[in-house]
Structure 1
Amino acid sequence: MTTEDAPRAGRREWIGLAVIALPCMLYSMDLTVLNLAVPSLTADLKPTAAQLLWIVDIYGFFVAGALLTMGTLGDRIGRRKLLLIGAACFGAASIFAAFAQSAAMLILARALLGIAGATLAPSTLSLITNMFPNDRERTFAISVWVASFSVGGALGPVIGGALLAWFWWGSVFLIAVPVMVLLLVLAPRLLPEYKDPNPGRLDLLSAAMSVVAVLAIIYGIKQVAEGGDGWAAAATIAFGLVVGAVFVRRKATLEQPLLDLSLFGRPMFSAALAINVFGFFAAFGALLFIAQYLQLVLGLTPFEAGLWTLPSGLGFVAGSLLTSVLLGLMRPAYVLGLGLSVAAAGYFLLTQLDGPNGFALLITGFVMLSLGTAPCAAVAADLVMSAAPPDRAGAASGLNETSSEFGGALGIALLGSLVTVLYRAGLGASLPADMSPDLAATALRGIGPAAAIAEAMPGPSGAALLEAARDAFTQAMQITASVSGAVVLAAAVTAIVMFRKQRPAVAPV
């Protein structure tokens, strides 16, 4: 019997899918809400440029570093059990983040949130593969799973913007607490338990190595972007690369490795992961600089900025839910190629932004890149999970989510660093002549500090600084958007070449 003829899911499974969507919504909500809170927490905690980037993306880095471990751990102790443990820890870490008193405390809280968050995605995706053995239903369920991230991303800015209009920036983290309490109540009643009947030993050393490698490389990149010690940054990057190489070599010698290298022997599996990395690399980087552009260049309040990110979130939801329909009409190669091409066109639209007059263009480009990225995420996840045996579903989902989160975290780091470098170069050439060296150094950290200084400066000097900062940031964003568009367009070509012979596995549900 093929999976196409496998038994269909019942009412409990479909209600369970709704429960699974809860942590997924919160998972992405936690990312988008923070983007809106960046200006207010910058004014309160006064982080350096490097600290601000760490606050924004250390969550994604620790998620990416811990996903493989958590996916494998779920196979061993039970995927529902891991989901419940992660939910409790995520709620506790959210409270810690909400009441952080310094940039260092918030960075630590975000790291803990990343470790807890790493339990959510692989647990939920692997549960879906077990709950929906039928091909058509599984593809639709995975599309709903992807869409739930989008709903969270869409609701996050609106809810977060409303909270920021009335409360302090830490209130955005408290959204997680009631959601996680609800999950802890409903999941034991509605979700089945699955685990590997013959689990092996968990490789904690490899888990630690994966986190160290990622963080060392990203830290070095950040130091370069901020203009720090070049030799120290290069040494840190080299250290991360060496640890990563040892990690990969160690995997090939272990009988039960943390990372199942045999899965990479399938070209389609590897290609799907690579395309996922490219898609999320561009998308997460765009989320960071678009949120800042809305508030600090266009001058919107956090709530207004949140409302204007809603069309993009809805575009991602629409793209996710249309995926199963498109797969019934064309091959996966063309679904991926079409979606990524639409996303690339959205990025190229953003290269035409011209400061305060680019509002309509920004929203149109934002919707296009979201609409086009969604099928990429859904198709890649379906291809990855279809290739994995049931007892390795947790590990495979960990790999899939690692590709998404690592791509997103890398996009925030590299594209965020590119924006910082270009902004520093642009503003450095146009700073008002009467600025003190200390104020100039602060303004060069980012557009947020520059806007705060401009507001406090008397007379025309403040207005001149704000205009120069906005121009520098807009130009930096234009160049970064062109890089993102080129990356996504390359991914579209790769998808068509690699998957052109792959026939649709499903028809519309």
Structure 2
Amino acid sequence: MDANASPGEGPRAGRREWIGLAVLALPTLLLSLDISVLNLALPHLSAALGASSTEQLWIVDIYGFMIAGFLITWGTLGDRIGRRRLLLIGAAVFGAASAAAAYADSPTTLIVARALLGVSGATLMPSLLALISNMFKDPKQQGLAIGVWMSCFMGGMAIGPVVGGAMLGSFWWGSVFLIGLPVMLLLLILGPFLLPEYKAPEAGRLDPLSALLSLATLLPVIYGVKKLAANGVAVPQLLSLLIGIAFGVVFVLRQRRLEHPLLDLRLFGNRALRAALGVALLCSATMGGITLLVSMYLQQVAGLSPLIAGLWLVPSFALAIAGNMAAPALASRFNPAYTIAGGLLVTTVGLLLLTQADSAGGIALVVAGYAVAFAGTSPMGVLSTQLVVGSAPPEKAGSASALSETNGEFGIAFGVAILGSLSAAVYQGRMTDAVPGGVAPDAAAEARDNLPAASNVADSLPGQLGTQLLDVARDAFTGSLHVVALVSAGAMVLFALLAVVLLRKAAPGGAGEGQQPEQTDRAAEPVVG
């Protein structure tokens, strides 16, 4: 790195660091692409392997469960054994698991392979972000690098339907998993030469019991929240949440007693980190719920296939990528809190546009509103991530990165559960007296539950009656989208105010009010090679 830097700035990154960022961009792109292509491949692999509906759910969900469960453990392990080393280990396992998934001969084998993909993916995500924070010390360069990293993740989501559609059109379903092999192979070849190694001095040994308690906390909570979103309030979901919370209490108590905890709770003593995590959690929750409803609108109301619906969302990712790249430059001219707040007000405008879409011919307005809303959250995503990582001491960068990633996973899951439940309640209320009179009572009750059920009922009814039921169901769902978007718009205004109040004293690099002196003086140990 170039040691020359202006007062108040870190050393500036050179050519090697920027080339290293390009290497890190590849697995980032792959991780998000792997999520989006599976939705297209699911019907093909289900037919080939004979997967039941329950097995299909586990094939989709196990990946996210494992990532959420292992983020904190692997993030902290990277601080101890070296972030580059953990990244390369994860890349090797991810590549092997990708091959196992591609050639799976049964649903069980595929579920196990997907679980391994999630476990190894959880090593990649915090390692990538921690390495970026170590390679780019200058706040402006760091913000740009994080913007590039986030843009690659969004780019993978955008091109996933295109790549997946092309692969499935020419090859068998397993080909979508083989995309990861050349990417991980390239990372394994170039990583040792272009990526520096960093690990915390005197980090201590990893506590296995804390790792188990972390899993016992996160997995039941994530599972319970996802099932609440899918099936509503029920005893198993509530019991899962209670079990996770109970283990969480034990986990926190143990971390307080350990000299070298798995998760250093002193990180939360930093006001900038707490505020950035809080605002990011709230915004992720809101946009997670909105994303679900927009996707349902495009497929269930507009009648688009998953591939075409995904292509309609490409403008959203394109605008968000532009916002990611612009956020660091805006933050260098304006206070990061005002940059984040301004973006959230833009999101508010996009959400209000969603309230104007109707059930017939509303695709363009829904896509435009979602694109504006999604782009407005870009400054929050980039700058809050930079604030979280920058607020932690360098030797805790892996832990802070894992916190940021886990925070996002929780936010999306909670948003889907809360806003999904609100949408369901509005839909059911609007359908109470809207079902046409000729529909049998049992079928009418089923149609009142949710839009997919109403679509199934409509398919079983004779011509005009089925059309009438489907029309009122689509109107009811669109009305629920309006209510959720309006509530979310009000929430975004509140979140913008919170950002200004809580983050206005935070510096672009992450240091801010509440920063402890020892957190700025300690440094991670660079290891040559």
TM-score range, shorter chain: 0.7 to 0.9
Note the 1:46-195 alignment, pairs <5 A: 47=53, 58-97=62-101, 109-163=113-167, 172-195=176-199
- Once residues 223 and 292 of structure 2 are traced to their aligned partners in structure 1, the CA distance between those partners, rounded to angstroms, is 18
Asked if 1:475 corresponds to 2:461, the answer is no
**Structure-2 residue corresponding to 1:409:** 413
Aligned with 1:357: secondary structure?
coil
Moved more, 258-267 or 444-453: 444-453
* TM-superposition CA deviations, 1:342-389 (whole Å, max 9, x none): 123222322333113211211111111221111111111211222222
* TM-superposition CA deviations, 1:464-492 (whole Å, max 9, x none): 45434433432333333334334333221
Question: Which one scores higher on RCO, CA 8 angstroms, separation ≥ 6?
Answer: 1
Q: Cα gap change, 1:95/1:356 in structure 2, threshold over 3 Å: closer, same or farther?
A: farther
Which of 356, 380, 388 is the matching residue for 2:360? 356
Which of 377, 383, 388 is the matching residue for 2:381? 377
Using the TM superposition, give the Cα deviation of residue 196 of structure 1 relative to its aligned residue in structure 2, in angstroms: 2.2
**Structure-2 residue corresponding to 1:19:** 23
**Structure-2 residue corresponding to 1:336:** 340
Q: Which has the larger radius of gyration?
A: 2
Asked if 1:400 corresponds to 2:424, the answer is no
8 A Cα contact 1:3 1:133, kept in partner: no
- Once residues 175 and 477 of structure 2 are traced to their aligned partners in structure 1, the CA distance between those partners, rounded to angstroms, is 28
Which of 499, 503, 506 is the matching residue for 1:499? 503
Asked if 1:324 corresponds to 2:301, the answer is no
Unpaired runs of 5+ in structure 2?
511-529
**Structure-2 residue corresponding to 1:459:** 463
- Once residues 485 and 145 of structure 1 are traced to their aligned partners in structure 2, the CA distance between those partners, rounded to angstroms, is 27
Aligned with 1:255: secondary structure?
coil
8 A Cα contact 1:36 1:291, kept in partner: no
Moved more, 148-157 or 377-386: 148-157
* TM-superposition CA deviations, 1:385-442 (whole Å, max 9, x none): 2222222211121112222222223333443454455556656765667778987787
Asked if 1:294 corresponds to 2:267, the answer is no
* TM-superposition CA deviations, 1:28-53 (whole Å, max 9, x none): 223334456678889985636xx877
Asked if 1:304 corresponds to 2:308, the answer is yes
Using the TM superposition, give the Cα deviation of residue 72 of structure 1 relative to its aligned residue in structure 2, in angstroms: 0.8
Q: CA RMSD in A?
A: 3.5
**Structure-1 residue corresponding to 2:520:** none
- Once residues 486 and 100 of structure 1 are traced to their aligned partners in structure 2, the CA distance between those partners, rounded to angstroms, is 47
* TM-superposition CA deviations, 1:84-136 (whole Å, max 9, x none): 22223333444555567888776655443332221122111111122222333
- Once residues 207 and 491 of structure 1 are traced to their aligned partners in structure 2, the CA distance between those partners, rounded to angstroms, is 33
Number of corresponding residues:
504
Moved more, 435-444 or 361-370: 435-444
- Once residues 32 and 266 of structure 2 are traced to their aligned partners in structure 1, the CA distance between those partners, rounded to angstroms, is 30
**Structure-2 residue corresponding to 1:386:** 390
- Once residues 100 and 442 of structure 1 are traced to their aligned partners in structure 2, the CA distance between those partners, rounded to angstroms, is 36
TM-score normalised by structure 1 residue count? 0.86
Aligned with 1:21: secondary structure?
helix
TM-score normalised by structure 2 residue count? 0.83
**Structure-1 residue corresponding to 2:523:** none
Note the 1:30-49 alignment, pairs <5 A: 30-34=34-38, 47=53
Give the share of equivalent positions with the same residue, in percent: 49
8 A Cα contact 1:330 1:504, kept in partner: no
**Structure-1 residue corresponding to 2:257:** 253
